[in-house]
Amino acid sequence: MSLHPLLHASVGHSLRPALALLLALTFAACGQAASAVPVATDHVDLPRSYRFAPETITVPVGTTVTWTNNDNFTHSVRLLDPEADPLMMKPGEQVTYVFERAGSFRYDCSLHPKDMTGSVLVEDSSG
């Protein structure tokens, strides 16, 4: 069985970049979907990948959340709701914040806001 000459030529060359792009987008979408699920923890890691892990956490009112910068670059935690001054972290450093009321609190890295975003869902444990 012979392939059409145009198909045969494109299989080895022009389809490879398209296939690689398709696979990259598929894996990226899978990673984003998994990170949107809230995780019950009071620790957030900044691994060597310009992201917060986990991206969304859930804690009870009164919890102190700790972010640890395990990347090779300086990052920050900047609360957006309400807006606050960024808490800066050099590589190897930590910052903390006490969540004293229930609600959903979005944050980002003020130095890399397009790549690094997260949220803390604070639940009222009284009821």
> 10 to each of 17, 21, 89, how far by Cα in Å?
11, 16, 48
Q: What is the average pLDDT across 107-125?
A: 96
- pLDDT the model gives residue 127: 58
Q: What is the pLDDT of residues 2-32, one digit of tens each?
A: 544 444 444 455 545 544 444 444 444 444 4
**pLDDT over 90 (residue 33):** no
3-class DSSP assignment, residue 109: coil
pLDDT digits over 36-95, tens only? 699 999 999 999 999 999 999 999 999 999 999 999 999 999 999 878 899 999 999 999
Helix, strand, coil % over all residues of the chain, rounded to 5: 25, 40, 40
Burial class (CB in 10 A: 0-12, 13-18, 19+), 79: middle
